[in-house]
Amino acid sequence: MNAVPLVEKLLMLAMAAQVVLTLGLLFWLGSERVPRVMRGEIPMADIAVDRTAYPLKARLLSNSFDNQFQLPVLFFIGALLALHLGAVSWVETVLALAFVALRFVHAAIHVTTNRVEQRFFAYTLGLAVLCLFWLWLIARILLS
């Protein structure tokens, strides 16, 4: 088996970190929701259709978890494409790590202070990094 280049390992590490964030939010969300339902604090009928019966913390966690299936999907597609084509450079790797770091910042804001201005800034900065990731990747693919 051939050795995997460091840039590819770091890109895969960024992907793994995004998975850890998503699963971490899911388990945290479960620890907020399930006990309340099991104790009967929240009737199942009240949560069958929407989340408003849950306390604020559970709703924030739920929204943050849902958000991990928006921009990160585009990140995973680009990262997998780069790996598949052997088009991973330090630029893609640094942008990928920056994107995932910003996802952690966004999620941290979302589930703590939930200051919309700060959250929007982190989201927008992450989006800009993701756009740069894709533009760089497309340029490298088309020019190679």
Distance CA 137, CA 87 (A): 7
Backbone angles phi, psi at 108, to 5 degrees: -60, -45
Exposed/middle/buried for residue 68 (C-beta within 10 Å: 0-12, 13-18, 19+): buried
The answer to whether 48 touches 54, Cβ cutoff 8 Å, is no
13-22, 49-58, 97-106, 119-128: which has the minimum mean pLDDT? 49-58
- So what's the pLDDT on residue 29? 97
Amino acid, single-letter form, for residue 74: L
- 100, 17 contact by CB (below 8 A): yes
Nearest to 64 by CA among 143, 119, 16, 125: 119
- The predicted model gives 11-36 an average pLDDT of 97
pLDDT value of position 112: 96
pLDDT of residue 2: 81
DSSP 8-state class, residue 69: T
* pLDDT for 1 beyond 80: no
Range scoring the smallest mean pLDDT among 43-52, 53-62, 100-109, 117-126: 43-52
Least confident of 36-50, 62-76, 117-131: 36-50
Q: Which domains does the chain have, with CATH numbers?
A: 6-143 (1.20.120.550)
Q: What is the pTM of this model?
A: 0.95
> Residue 144 above 90 pLDDT?
no
**Which of 41, 45, 32, 106 is closest to 71 using CA atoms?**
106
Which pLDDT belongs to residue 26?
98
**Average of pLDDT values for 42-58?**
93
